[in-house]
Structure 1
Amino acid sequence: MVRTFLEGLNKTEKLHFGGGNTDWEERKLGKFKSSESRFVESMEYVCRKDSSVELVGKDSVKDLQFMCHQLAEESEEWLEGWYFKLQDEQPDLETAFCVEELKRCCLSGYFGPQCSGCPGLVRQDAESKPCFGRGTCNGDGSRQGDGKCNCESGYVGKMCSNCDAHFYPVAQNATYIECDECFDGCASGCTAAGPKGCRACRSGYKMDEEAGCQDIDECQLSAESPESSEAKKCTKDHEVCVNIMGSFRCDCETGFVRRGKNAGQEGVHEDGDCELDVEDRSKPGLFPPDTALRLTAIVGLFGVSTFVFLGHRTPAAVALTIVAVIAAFVLDNHFESLVPESAKEFLKHSLP
């Protein structure tokens, strides 16, 4: 109610009586600022729907308007007295009406029935803020709540005056603190920004005396020690090791795709086997793998049929030669795994 009434005062601040002779009106009728006309016009803004929607949203506006109108009827006499007699003496209407008269509110930074100060608020220090300005005080500004601080991410403590475990203080004094997040490779917190600020390194990093926590390249270690079962990574067929900060992942070689129960899900890189991606178009060569397979099958069928019906005549030899050329092309451009085992066996026994 108070805010909508103040909105009315603000809207009528530059208005006048409307007679055209402002000087005469103010001498005869008094200042418009403290006139009955302005009070009446300002009261028309009280509990208006558009102002109420801005305060609480559309879902609660009906309930708010009902309570607002009820309070306005009960308090119109008090508002009129403040407007004509106390406006200059007590310019803060919200404090005068809500806190002192109705005792339904507290000043910002205070809570509960007695308007106790929120943790971190120092009355004598204008720079101090509830919960060090890094959290919200439960019940702040109302006669309710227990005053406990709900801290922002990165801040802990009764007054939100300390940095969380994986954060460090950037700036700090008696009433203020600013924390920033530690480097990702740190374990047990840090004292400053970057790898050098780490107290210790988490798994996947190693401590360097000069540079601090540095990423371990598990893929390089695997390549340098292929005989070591502990160091060896990505051991499935057609897998390649990809180093990432603090860890590694196993991807499929180009032209292969992972098949499995969880393959393809975000963050899943190792479930299932790497199988040929017959739809891949990135490989060099005259034909993509799936087209090459179809051509091999068709020409192979033609060659076998020719051999069966025409024996060792020239057409049969020509057909087998074509099959051999295509098979060699596929083996050279699309890996041996593209050629069916039956085709390999046939070519093994048929070619000279």
Structure 2
Amino acid sequence: MNTSSNIIVGISIGDINGIGIEVILKTFADKRMLEFCTPVLFGSAKTVSFHKKTLDIQTHIHGINTIDKVVHGKINLLNVWNEELKIDLGTASKELGNYAFKSLDKAVEALKNNKIDLLLTAPINKDTIQSDDFSFPGHTEYLQSHLEGKSLMILLNEELRVGLLTGHIPVSDVASTITPELIEDKVAIMYTSLVEDFGISKPKIAVLGLNPHSGDNGLIGKEEKEIIAPTIKKIRDTGKLVFGPYAADGFFGSKTYEQFDGVLAMYHDQGLAPFKALSFGAGVNFTAGLSKIRTSPDHGTGFDIAGKGIANSDSFKEALFTALKIHKNRAAHIEITKNVLKTK
């Protein structure tokens, strides 16, 4: 594992008709970024050149044909395909969705083989990328199927980390999916991540309720009383600082989240809607719990602004710096714990 500025960051370019390539090019337009890492884009010189010309971005790219030819101090582009693509910025395209998958697939392969140290993923269109090879709701589920560990989606900024108990599933399936075992698993992943990835020795975690007013003692749903609260107590009895369940509206409205190192939401929009209201454009999506590090910006493909040159790269930059910090924290944790004195 690299621990210097030679950390190799693999980058999948996302949906080619979206803003992914734009925010990547804007991020590395500042040459000082190369002092922190060595980026490797997985895509095509022809495809990236099209975006550079259309957007009038002068970021210099160094093309390579094998991952072993990476040059430190340059923005490397590994050619995954050579054919000319029909690019129509701002349009959903099944054909280009296949190329978004090619980029992701090669990047994950390099990650598994330790050719890159961590992975940044630009946004994909979850519909057009679907195929026999990619039949997943999103990046998180795909990565879990290819890497060791159990995943937890965490959206974060400097003040807030929100994990999701259930991810990309219909709201109608949420209640039946919530079990004591699932709560225990996700709390354990978040706890370990807060310790190893964020350097928090004794993390404090809040768990949200499922129903309005956290069920009002069973009047508006029984999940809190019968499943969530007893499981939280069981976990807390082991010594972990886990509290709840909290009613989501009051929890975020009163800024109670400021008292915690992590928040576990019951379902996707319960956690992500308030997070993005508080942090849209500067947040980071981190896949915790896996053997490898992956982050991404907190926005989507941005079809409505693709090709206009106005996409904001702040979230992508934050995703990069977050991944680098987690890489450093994991290395430090390994170093600290490997020589711990063993008691007889």
TM-score above 0.5: no
Q: Which has the larger radius of gyration?
A: 1
Structure possessing the higher relative contact order (Cα contacts under 8 Å, 6 or more residues apart): 2
TM-score by length of 1: 0.19
TM-score by length of 2: 0.19
